[in-house]
Amino acid sequence: MSELAIELKGIDKSFGLVHANRNINLKVRKGTIHGIIGENGAGKSTLMSILYGFYQADRGDIVIDGKTIKIRDPNAAIAAGIGMVHQHFMLVENFTVLENIMLGAEESQILNAGITKARAELKRLEKEYALEVDPDAVIEELPVGIQQRVEILKALYRKADILILDEPTGVLTPAEADHLFRILGQLKDEGKTVLLITHKLREIMAITDEVSVMRRGEMVATRTTKETSVEELAELMVGRRVLLRVEKGEAKPADVKLSVKNLTVRDSRGVTMVEDVSFDIRAGEIVGIAGVAGNGQSELLEAISGIRRATSGTVLLNGREIDVTGNADPADLRRRGLAHVPEDRHHVGLVLKFEESENAILGYHDDAKYRRGMLLDVDAIRADAEAKIAAYDIRPPNPRLKTANFSGGNQQKIVLAREMERNPDVLIIGQPTRGVDVGAIEFIHKRIIEMRDQGKAVLLVSVELDEIRALSDRILVMFAGRVVGERAPDATEGELGLLMAGVEGRKEAAE
C-alpha cells in the first residue's frame, strides 16, 4: 500500500493558446489536509478538474493509492474514491436533501427500498461526521452553509476517500467556516485525504498539513505548513512581495453624496429585510457595513441601486431623490453618478456567455463613445476593453474570450474595471474580494482607497470583517435588517462580533 493518496506526474493541459497546466508534479499523503493555493488563473481549478475527470490532461499520469489510472469522467473519479465539493454547488434546488444525496447513486430498482437504505446511510454519516441535516428539507430553503454539508455528504455517500474542496468558505460566515474546519479535521482523523483549494492564506495556515503553490500554470513550491508563513506563501503565489495590510491616510470627508433616510424593504413574501435604516455617506470616505450574511445588507444595496423596490423611505443621490419606492431606473442612476459592483457577479454583474469586451461596457453600452450611428462600434469597444485589461491586470488578456472562461477573480476585476473607470460620485460595492486571490485583493483594496482619495463616496459591504475594518473610515453594523450600531475602524473584533450577533445592539437601543 502506498503512503500517497495522490501522485500527479507531468500533468499538462492547454486550451487553445492558454497553457493552463505546465508539467505539474504533486504528491499528497494519505490522511492529510493538503492546500493548493495560487493566484486566480494560476491553474488550480483546471488541475482539480483533471483529477475529477471534467477535463482530460494532454500529457501526464494520475496515480491513486499507488495505481496509475485513467479518469475519463467524474464517474471514473467517484469509482476511484474521489469526491469534489465545487465552489458553486451542484445541487438540484427543488429536490430534498435525500433526493440530492441519492441522485445518480440509486442502488435499487425499487425506489422505496433504495430510499429506505439511503436514509439509513445518511443518518449514519450525519452522526459519524457531525453533519446534521434534515433529509426531507428542500435545498432552496437551506442556508448555504447547510447546502455545503449536503455536498460533503454526497461525496461521503459515494464512498469517497479523497475529498476535493474548491474555495469552500467563499460563501460561509466565520462561524460556518469554523464548523467546516472541524468537520475536515474529523475527516482527516478518520483517514480521509482532503485537498483544499483556497485563496485565504489564514485558512491554509490554520488547517492544512502541507501546502502547494501554483503560479501561471506551474507548481512552484510545496511547503510543510508549520514551517512556512503567510508572507512566504503570498510571495510564492505572486512572484513578488505582497503588502498584506491596507495602507491609507486619514479620510477627508466633504459634502454628503448619498443620504438614506428611514429605508424599509420587504421581500416578495412580505418579510421585512431592511427596517428603518438611515445613514449618510460623504465624498472622500468609505462607510463599511458589517454583519453576518442574510441580515439585510443585500436588500439594502439592491434598493439603493434601483434593482429592488423599497417599501418606504427616501434616498438622495447628490441631493436629488431616487424613486426607491416606485420605478427607480438603474440606467438613470448610472448617468447620475452611481456605480454598483453587485455581490453576485454571475447572476447580476456579468453575462457569462458574452465576450469580455461586451461585459466591459454592460450597462454603459448606450454611451456615445461605444456607438457609430445606430450601431455599436466594435473596434472602440475592444480598444476600451484592452485598456481596462491592462490597467486591472485581467488574465488572460483577451477581450474576445467568453467571460465564463475567466477565473472568478478575473471576472471580479472585469466588473470592478467597468464600474470604477466611469468616474462615479458614489460607488457601491458588495463583497469586493469574494473568491479573489491575495495579489488581486491587494490591487482591489488599493483601487478602493484611491477612489476615496479622489473624493468619491464609497459604500462597502463585506462578510470579511478584516476587510471592513481595514478599508472603512466608519463601520455600520446590521443585524436583523436594522443598523444596530456605528463604530470606528479600530473597534475590536469582539466588539463588532457582539453587535453582529445583536447583543450590544439591543443594549444600545434600550439606552
> Which segments of 341-430 does DSSP mark as H helices, in order?
356-359, 378-392, 408-420
Cβ neighbours of 100 (radius 10 Å)? 23
Question: In the prediction, which pLDDT does 168 show?
Answer: 83
Q: Which residues pair with 36 in a beta bridge?
A: 197, 212
Residue 33 is predicted with a pLDDT of: 97
Write the pLDDT tens digit of every residue in 407-453: 778 899 999 999 999 999 999 999 998 777 777 888 899 999 999 99
Residue 62's pLDDT is what?
Answer: 97
39 Cβ contact partners less than 8 Å away, ≥ 6 residues apart: 215, 216, 237, 238, 409, 437, 438, 439, 440
The per-residue pLDDT for 299 is 93
User: Within 10 A of 268 (CB to CB), how many other CB atoms are there?
Assistant: 6
| Amino acid 173: pLDDT | 63
Residues 6+ apart with CB under 8 A from 104: none
| pLDDT value of position 419 | 97
Task: Judge whether 291 and 273 are in contact, CB under 8 Å.
Answer: no
Nine-digit cell at 492? Answer: 475590536
Per DSSP bridges, beta strands 474-479 and 482-487 are antiparallel
Return the pLDDT at 258. 98
- In this structure, the number of other CB atoms found within 10 A of the CB of residue 375 comes to 7
Beta partners for residue 483, in sequence order:
478
> In the prediction, which pLDDT does 170 show?
66
Q: Please report, in angstroms and rounded to a whole number, the separation of the first and last CA atoms in the chain.
A: 67
Nearest to 3 by CA among 48, 63, 69, 47: 63
Q: What domains can be seen in the chain, in order of their start residue? A: 4-238 (3.40.50.300), 256-337+424-510 (3.40.50.300)
Residues of the chain with pLDDT under 50: 110, 510
